[in-house]
Structure 1
Amino acid sequence: MTVGVERNRGGDVRVLHAEDDPQLGALAGEFLEREGELAVTHVEDAPTALERLAAEDFECIVSDYDMPGMTGIEFLDAVREDHPDLPFILFTGKGSEEVASDAISKGVTDYLQKETGTEQYEVLANRIENAVDGYRTERELERRVKQLRESERRFRTLVSNLPGMVYRCENERGWPMTFVSDGAVELTGYTPDELTSDAVDWGEDVLVDANRDELWEAVQAALDAREPFQVEYELRTADGESKWVWERGRGVFENDELLALEGFITDVTDERRLREDLRRERDLTRQLVETSPVGIMVHELDGTYHLVNDRVLEIFDTAREAVMGRTYDDDEWELRTPDGDPLPEAEHGFAKLKAKAEGTSPSDDVRLTNLMHSVVRDDGERLLVSVNGAPLYDDDDELELLVFTIQVVDE
């Protein structure tokens, strides 16, 4: 009959002890737990030890050699199939070079021959703790290596999916590259190996001449302030194509020493062209508004003025500040019908167009045409004017502004 005896006095190291003599097993467990931070589980044969090992976690095995059913060497061989690194100490009264050699060839961690007296358990406890320390160190290193590999895998997955190039370079005029991601090929036409070797000089072969000094000064200013930098500049690809790129980077410091620059570069050529197109459109619109022979007045939805062109100021003989400080129904306008009666609120151009436009979208044909009324200039002269209007919508197709043109009738 086999018996399992487990002591747990709060020890840090769980030890599985296989010893067919129950008295020796109990004695060894008692002395080991007294000598070290150990919790010893005693079983009387190797098969039972294997069952316990399959069901529980142990950090060290101590085994006798002569046991019924399976020797300590056979037990060691079985353990190594599933636990190649688990500390295994052969603690035996059968001492011989043959046994020791066989144990070593099977991967035993330590070999200790039994002696008389309790001092041997102090030696055994010390051997166990040393073996477990090494085992834990190896497990911690394996865990950190695994974490590092997983971090590297995630980093490479992230970098490979970024629309641009991740880099690390030296802070020198030519920006010598020490690492670039695979995104460099699509961005520059050069491979990572070319950019990190002497085959390609980033400063001479990639950067456009006009950008070099300005780029250098911007980056150095950010480094001096210990801040990230953002720059936009032109580069030249391997096949001579011009591209505009946006770069964000930072300095890598250690004890105030600058080690390198790290950052990300992405192609913004299309975005830059779009910005240029939008700028030209804005400039064109501004020129059309300011040179228009008719007055143009743009209203916020609360009735205040968003914009008026110079022609409006000429028509009313007033200053821009005076108009911008009014609303569409300000008493200063003294609005009247063509017959000379006060213009009803509902007949104001702003009120009529807003009522028509509310709830509509750009696909709806909403306009105000040839609304006639008179208005007083700042010099007191009354003018008969014709007003046309249309709504302006935002990017979400929501009503945003009301745009009006105004012309003097029979001018």
Structure 2
Amino acid sequence: MGGAGNPDGPTLGGDDVRILLVDDEIDLADVVSLHLEQRRESFSVTTAIGGNDALSTFESTEIDCVVSDYEMPGMDGLALLRELHQRDQSVPFILYTGRGSEEIASEAISAGVTDYLQKRATSDQYAVLANRIENAVARHRSERARQETELRYQNLVEASPHAIFVHRGPNILYANDSVVDLLDIDDRTEIYGTDPLSYVHPDDRDRIDRRMRKAFDERETADWAGWRLRRDDGEIRHVESRGAPVSYDGQPAVQVVLRDVTDQRRREQRLEALNDATRELLTAETPEAVAQVAVEVVESVFDEPFVAIWSYRPETDQLTTLAVTEAATERAAAERNEPRPVDTVGGDLEMDVFAAGEPRVIEGYADHDDAMTEAFETVFMLPLDEHGLLSVASVEPRTFSAAERDLLGILARSVVAAFDRLAA
């Protein structure tokens, strides 16, 4: 639109501008309409005679800008503005009046008009009015586009499985629900206005602060980096983050994407510990030493206090304890209310899993008639080929994750290899 036919002001990139011109004098409205459409090819002007006619037209027609006289019978221009704002708070509204005074201008500004222009008997007044309309519509469309962009952005962020927040310096402006889960808080608004560095472990804070400043001040995207996140409850989580400069509410900001790698890091640490344990298992000189190393590894590395290694005795066709953690012994004794150790002979459940040769999680262990103790609710049993059984118990109902099963399976294979070496 515009081009050579628009020497008076900026263009709107070819989009039509639909104007509602309101005046109680139809002849004057037709003259203004004609001049506006002559100055801008993109302008399409609809006239309304008075406030009620304007409201009816506004409700039935797409309007980009309202230009209204002030003094009109029944409903003046500012009363019309208030009525229109009940229907659309954002539509640009220009008060174009022949009655000019500081009192009217002040009242118009207070009422929320987009612009205020006094009618004058000069040839250039229509050029000025066209510019005012075009500028008002351009600002409105720009703001609407910004809001739509931010809405799309928020929808995408909300759908992300990663924790994402936006900050401007020391103030968090926005966070998605994944941040709520990561920080274990009740509502995302709890962290709005807080300093993101307050969630960084003190030993990592200086390094992360430098990254944040670079992303904000130099507008550079920061690569992934690992650090420790400290939640409000004091728990430490290992995370990786990446920061990128963005615009939020029309102002520079930084978007941070977080991924929780605590489980991955824990798995790596456990694998490293299992590698160390394998070396110990392969140098152990007796089955008892192998079993003791194994239960200590499960207790310390997996943070499982109730562990036992059962050894199969072919001569009696029974499983007997070869090594057991102290916590398991004490728990079983407390359940019996007797100061004696856990039974050294496995029950029918243990024998069934051993004979089947497949790992099995037994839920509701204490409720089984053939359970050897009621001290435990869940027991994960891993057969050790013909050598016996690895047993990991819990006093609460639980499921062992696939990662936990895999790592315990790795340990079980190492124990089997150690037993095989001693039996050769």
- Normalising TM by the smaller chain, what interval? 0.3 to 0.5
TM-score, length basis structure 2: 0.42
Which of these two proteins has the greater Rg computed from alpha carbons? 1
**More helix as a share of residues:** 2
